[in-house]
Amino acid sequence: MEIICSNTQIFRFKMIRIIIFSIFLIFYSTSFSQNKCNNAFKKLNKIEKLIYEDEEKAFNKINKLKIECKEIDIKLYIGNIYFKYKKYSDYVELLRSNWNVNLPDEIIIKYFTSCINTNNYKFAIDVINLYPKNYKFSKQAQNLINNIFFAISEIKENNIIEINKLLISTNKDEYFPSFNSNSDQLIFTRRDDNDENFYLTKNINKSWSKPIILNFPSNTIYNEGAYSISNDSKEIFFASCNRSDGFGNCDIYYAEIINDSLWSDPINLGPSINTKDWESQPSISMDKKLLFFSSNRDGGYGKRDIWCSVRLDKYNWSEPFNLGSNVNTINDEITPFIFYDSKKIFFASNGHVGMGGYDLFFSEIEDGLFKQSKNLGYPINSNKDESCLIISPDSEVGFFSSNRGERDDLDIYEFILPNEMKSDKFISFGGHVIDSISLKPVNNCKILLYNKKLLLKTYTDNDGYFKLKIPANQEISLNILSKNHLFFSKKFNVEEFSILDSKFILKRIKKGEKLVLSNVLFETNEFTLNSQFIEEIKQLAYYLNENKNISIEIAGHTDNVGSESYNLILSEKRAKSVYEKLIEFGVKKNQLSYIGYGFSNPIFPYEDVENRYLNRRTEIIYK
The whole-angstrom distance between residue 385's C-alpha and the CA centroid of its chain comes to 15
Q: What is the pLDDT of residues 323-368, one digit of tens each?
A: 999 999 999 999 999 999 899 999 999 999 999 899 999 999 998 8
Same domain, 220 and 352: yes
Are 311 and 321 part of one and the same domain? yes
Task: Give residue-wise pLDDT tens across range 132-154.
Answer: 999 999 999 999 999 999 999 99
**CATH at residue 466:** 2.60.40.10
User: Do 295 and 378 have their domain in common?
Assistant: yes
Share of the chain above pLDDT 70, in %: 91
CATH number at residue 388: 2.120.10.30
pLDDT at residue 38, as a whole number? 66
Q: Are residues 122 and 203 in the same domain?
A: no
529-552 residue pLDDT tens: 988 789 999 999 999 999 999 999
The pLDDT of residue 281: 95
- Based on the fold, state whether residues 607 and 478 are members of the same structural domain: no
Give the residue-averaged pLDDT of 417-443. 91
Q: How confident is the model at residue 1 (pLDDT cuts 50, 70, 90)?
A: very low
Look at residue 18 and tell me whether its pLDDT is greater than 50.
Answer: no
Residues 313 and 279 in one domain: yes
**Are both 365 and 328 inside the same structural domain?**
yes
- Please check whether residue 137 is in contact with residue 149, taking contact to mean a CB–CB distance below 8 angstroms: no
Say if 118 falls within a structural domain: yes
- pTM comes to 0.84
pLDDT at 145: 96
How much is the average pLDDT of 207-221? 75
Quote the pLDDT of residue 124: 96
Residue 67: CB atoms within 10 Å? 7
Same domain, 535 and 476: no
Residue 55 sits in a domain whose CATH number is 1.25.40
The string of pLDDT tens digits covering residues 163-177 is 999 999 999 999 999
| Per-chain mean pLDDT for the chain | 88
pLDDT, position 219? 56
How many structural domains is the chain composed of?
Answer: 4
Among residues 386, 421, 456, which one ends one of the domains?
Answer: 421
Question: Does residue 17 register a pLDDT over 50?
Answer: no
Residue 211: asked if its preceding bond is cis (omega within 30°), the reply is: no
Bridging pattern class, strands 426-435 and 499-506: parallel
Q: Looking at the domain assignment, is residue 21 inside a domain?
A: no
Q: Domain for residue 67, yes or no?
A: yes
Of 34, 31, 83, give the one whose Cα is nearest residue 59: 83
Answer whether residue 476 shows pLDDT above 50: yes
Burial of residue 187, with CB atoms counted within 10 A of its CB: 0-12 exposed, 13-18 middle, 19 or more buried: buried
- Reply yes or no on whether the pLDDT at 234 is more than 50: yes
Give the model confidence (pLDDT) of 30-72 as tens digits.
Answer: 443 445 576 777 788 888 888 888 888 888 888 888 888 878 8
In a shared domain, residues 415 and 315: yes
Please check whether residues 326 and 215 belong to one and the same domain.
Answer: yes
Does residue 17 lie in a domain region?
A: no
- Domain contains 130: yes
One domain for residues 169 and 106: no
pLDDT of residue 52: 82
Confidence of residue 13 (pLDDT cuts 50, 70, 90): very low
Within a domain: 16: no
Query: Residue 443: pLDDT above 60?
Result: yes
Domain hosting 436: range is 425-508
Evaluate whether residue 412 is within a structural domain. Answer: yes
261 with 372, same domain: the answer is: yes
Query: Has residue 478 been placed in a domain?
Result: yes
Burial classification of residue 603, based on how many CB atoms lie within 10 Å of its CB (0-12 exposed, 13-18 middle, 19 or more buried)? exposed
pLDDT at 487 over 90: yes
